[in-house]
Structures are given as structure tokens and as C-alpha cells.
Amino acid sequence: MSDSYLNSDKHNKEHSHWDRRGFLKVLGIAGAGSISLGNSHLSVINSSFVSNALGSAISDRVLVMIRLKGGNDGLNTIIPVYDFDNYVSKRPSIHIPKNNLVKLNDEFSIPNHMNSLTPFWQEGMMKVVHGVGYENQNLSHFTSSDIWATGTRNKAEMSTGWLGRFYDEKYFDFTTNPPEKPVAIQIGSNSNMIFKGDQRSYAFAVANERRLEKVAERGEFFSTANLPDCTHGDQIEFLRRVSNTTYDYAEVISEAFNSSSDSDSYTDSNLDKQLRLVARLIKGGLGSKIYMVSLGGFDTHGNQPDTHQSLLTQLSDSIKTFYNDLNYDGFDSKVLTMTFSEFGRRVRENGSEGTDHGSSAPVMLFGPSLRGSGFIGEHPSLSNLDKRGNMHYSVDFRSIYQTILTNWLCGDSNYINNAMLGENYDLLGLGFACDDKEMIDYNSLLNYHYPLYSNSNRKVDLNLRLKQDHNLSINVFDILGRHVSNIYNGKLNRGEHTFNLSENQFKKLSNGQYFYSIKISGGKTLSKSFVVK
């Protein structure tokens, strides 16, 4: 990408398009559409069973996604010291000098302004996935962000995001029975396409951390206090009260916020403000599985050394403060954090002490659940470049998605298949699994249950594997939450068991949607939907 391109109308138009899409603000009632969950009061069926079924989870794990907006320069984040001379020759002005490096192993280092991450590496809480990207990288902020969000380059399939499709399957009747707590919380701009399902976004999205904090403090979006005592004031109060009633999750967010407290170690940096709120909601028991925060400014076409150093310092310091906060209250082992960006930067520096849009870049992951620090995948060559001068990717970004859905969020294989558009990607060895005893409360949940299978005779079987004896009951309910049949009630020994769910007193159930409920004596209920065809 030449200097002349940087000043061209095409480049300016690209940034204008990207900025309009990514940085719209929530402004008063007119911006209410940017709040992406609960935009109408949807509860129709008053069924506690259905709510419990949809709200059940196999663990209380949390994923925190930190978006590095603009395209983070991976070569000045994780420095390949094994090829240091080549690295310096391509970046004579902007390389990180050897005396400013912190060694991770004999082959890779981080710049010393990321030194706050050193304890993570030393204590086995950091992994780096090398060369993450996809074939024929699109160098547009707008398009590449959509590809990362949707998991496809096919424009016909770009209407939904990978997490949106996952939760479309999990919460198929969201319209009539939304879960009691928000599925995802996003701070910063409109709801990211990652969370967009077929009919809705699954992220409770706010423009900035101050907006979320106001919601958390008072349990409503728009204050009805101190309005003028006149007809105009009455009209404003009416509109604000109507708006407040449409956001079902404001109250539960407020409850979680007020059930915990702040750590005084956070600074006034942009990322600190966001992660402070995330930590407080996690500690307060909100129960949301996904949080997304953003740090902008990574489009470093010029003056990269100072800008990039400031951003990576903020990123590293904020992650350290965030985990120290979680650790103090014992929540750190339940939280996995990952960074991602729409693309990396060109290997060779440009003429403005910066780098232009590139291809693959590292994804960093943090948390005690990683159980050992290390590198995943092969670092791309700095010599074998494509015709644009960019590195070839070595790990498909969708492998990270599939690994997280499978081994961290413990999703049903059918849900994951829908999220990944029917494709299977390699699972990465990140250190965690769904049967980790330290991660799952075995005293209150079933240790494991298989997906459901249906054959051509309309028979639907529930396959269970128990690692210890349980007293439990298994019941089937219809879509309205009405009891249909009792499948089992009593003590079930450890081992594998199969139950036919599609019969009611030896008669086949009629075609339709049903739920099964597994209730453990003295524990929680584990539930899931199934279809009889």
C-alpha cells in the first residue's frame, strides 16, 4: 500500500464507511435501537420450566473478547527473534530493538512495554496462536471485520455471526421466552455482527462504559427524575418510561452490579474502564457468557512506534489489572480472555514510520484455565510472502471459534455445526476441556450428557453418561411447558444409560417441539429441546 494511496479518496472513503458503521453512538431515546437485546417486552408464555430450560448451562465459564480495532501489528507484538536480522531489515525504523525485548522463549519475545504480561507467561496463563487468518486476506476494515464476525467469505452467508448462529440454535424460541439474563454484553459502538442471529442480535450492546454504568447503577436506561414540570416534561417522562420497560435486562444488570464492588486498582484508561465493569458484573453473578470490549487506534499507517507502544501498554496493563481483580474474589479461573483484530500489518514498513494493511497476526489468550503457557501453530515466514508482501496464514481463525465453542462453552455439537456453517475446523490444544473438574460444579450438575439422536422411526433417544451415582428424574414437556411424560425417577448408577423420549405410555408422541428436563436431587435442572418428526 503506497503513500499515495493513504491520501487517496478511496482510502478516505474506506475509513469513512468503516467509522460510520463501527462507531455510532447511543444518544438519548433516539439511539435506543443500538441497544440490541430486549427491544420489546417479549414474554408471552409464563412457563418457569421453559425459562429454566433455556437458561441452563453446563458451567459458569465466561469468554471475554478484546477487539483490537484497526488491524494490530503482530510482528511488533510477538517478535520472532529466531529471524531477528530479517525482521530488522524489513523494519529499519520501527523494529523493537533487542535491548527492549522481554524473552518468552528462545524464539519469541514481547516488547518491554508489554511487561505486565510477563507474570501470565511465567505462571502458565498465556497462550499465543501464531499466524491467524484466512486465505486471500481481504484488506478492507469493513469486509475483513465482517469475515471475522460471520466466519465466511460468502456474501450470501454474511447476514449472521458465528455466535449469533450458535445462540439461534440454543435459544430457538427466544421471541416468546427470552433467557432471564443477557447472553452477551458488548461495550463500544453498535452490536457487533458476531452476535447477530437470523432475527436478532444476542448482545446487550451499549456505546460506551458510562452508558452501561448508568444502567447498572439505576436499573433503567433513561432517568425520569428532574424533568420540567410542564406538558413537555410529561411527554419526555412518558417516552422514557416506555423505553425503560422495553429493556428487560436493565434490572438484572443493576442487581449484579450492586451485588459486587469495584477494585481501586483500575486507571482512567479506556480499556480499564470497560474491563472494570465487566469484572464487576462477573463478580456480581450476572451470568452472561460472553463479554466484548474494544480498544481502537491500531490502524497505524504512520507514527507507529509511539502509537503502538501506547496501545500495547494499555492492553497489557488492563489485562493484568482485570485478572488481579477477578483473582481476589476467586473468579479468575472461570474467565478466558482472547484478543482479536480484523487483520495484521504488512511485513515491510512504509515511508511514514508505519505499516499498511496486512494479513495474518497472532491471537493472544489469557487465564488460569489455559494450564500452561505456550505457542500454537507455526509462525509465518518473513521471506515467503504473497504478491502483496504479506505473510501467509498458518491457523484458520475459525479453528479458534470451534475450539472455544467445543471445549470452553461446551456447546452441543448441533449448535456448533450451525455456528460453523456445517464446516469442521481443527481443534486447538488450548489446555481446557468440558470435563475439567475444576471448571464444572459436579455437585450440582450432571457430569456429562450426550447429544440427542433421532432415527427414521421417529424414535428420539437421550444418551447419558454419569461419573457417579445420582438420584434424578427425567421428564418431557411440550412447547407450552405442559408436562407430557415421566421418563425416569429414582437412583441411576454411574455409567452409560439410554432413554426413549419419544414415547408417552408406549404411544408415540405427535410431531412437534418438546423439552426434556433432568433434575438432580438437591441440584440444578439440566434441560434441552428436541423435535419429534
Q: How confident is residue 338, by pLDDT bands cut at 50, 70 and 90?
A: very high
% of the chain beyond a pLDDT of 70 = 75
Contacts of 95 (CB under 8 A, 6+ apart): 76, 87, 88
CA distance 310 to 114: 10
Q: How confident is residue 65, by pLDDT bands cut at 50, 70 and 90?
A: very high
Residues 375 and 521 both lie in one domain: no
Residues 208 and 156 both lie in one domain: yes
Residues 319 and 460 both lie in one domain: no
pLDDT of amino acid 51:
36
Q: What is the dihedral of CA 338, 341, 343, 344, to 10 degrees?
A: -70
Residues 323 and 189 both lie in one domain: yes
Residue 268 lies in a domain: no
Residues 184 and 92 both lie in one domain: yes
Pairing state of beta strands 507-508 and 503-504? antiparallel
Better pLDDT: 243 or 419: 419
The predicted-structure confidence for 490-533, as pLDDT tens digits, reads as follows: 988 877 788 888 887 667 888 887 878 787 766 556 666 677 87
Total residue count of the chain as it appears in this document:
533
Handedness of CA 45, 49, 53, 56 (dihedral sign): positive
Q: State the CATH number of the domain containing residue 522.
A: 2.60.40.3080
What are the beta bridge partners of residue 68?
295
CA distance 67 to 74: 14
Q: Which three cell numbers stand for residue 454?
A: 433421532
Residues 414 and 457 both lie in one domain: no
Among 403, 419, 435, the domain-final residue is 419
pLDDT of amino acid 10:
52
Residues 197 and 317 both lie in one domain: yes
CA distance 184 to 195: 8
Among 398, 419, 440, the domain-final residue is 419
The predicted-structure confidence for 248-275, as pLDDT tens digits, reads as follows: 677 788 888 888 888 999 999 999 999 9
Task: Tell me what the mean pLDDT of segment 46-66 comes to.
Answer: 56
Residues 388 and 470 both lie in one domain: no
Environment class of residue 373 by beta-carbon count within 10 Å: exposed (0-12), middle (13-18) or buried (19+)?
A: buried
Residue 251 lies in a domain: no
Residue 361 lies in a domain: yes
Residue 235 lies in a domain: no
3-state secondary structure 337-376: EEEECCCCECCCCCCCCCCCECCCEEEEEECHHHCCCEEE
Residue 487 lies in a domain: yes
Q: Structural domain of residue 358, as residue ranges?
A: 59-216+286-419
- At residue 279, does pLDDT exceed 60? yes
Neighbours of 246 (CB within 10 A): 15
Residues 344 and 301 both lie in one domain: yes
Q: Are the CB atoms for 199 and 209 separated by under 8 Å?
A: no
Residue 233 lies in a domain: no
3-state DSSP helix/strand/coil % of the chain, to nearest 5:
35, 20, 45
Task: Tell me what the mean pLDDT of segment 366-391 comes to.
Answer: 95
Contacts of 116 (CB under 8 A, 6+ apart): 313, 316, 317, 319, 320
pLDDT of amino acid 390:
97
The predicted-structure confidence for 88-114, as pLDDT tens digits, reads as follows: 999 999 999 999 999 999 999 999 999
Which of 4-8, 29-33, 334-338, 481-485 has maximum average pLDDT? 334-338
Residues 408 and 515 both lie in one domain: no
Q: State the CATH number of the domain containing residue 404.
A: 3.40.720
Among 419, 442, 468, the domain-final residue is 419
Residues 358 and 493 both lie in one domain: no
- At residue 47, does pLDDT exceed 50? no
- Taking the model in full, what pTM does it have? 0.72
Residues 307 and 415 both lie in one domain: yes
Residue 415 lies in a domain: yes
Count the domains in the chain: 2
- Is 433 strand, coil or helix? coil
Residue 427 lies in a domain: no
| CA–CA distances in Å: residue 407 to residues 61, 113, 263, 429, 448 | 11, 32, 30, 9, 13
3-state secondary structure 299-336: CCCCCHHHHHHHHHHHHHHHHHHHHHHHHHCCCHHHEE
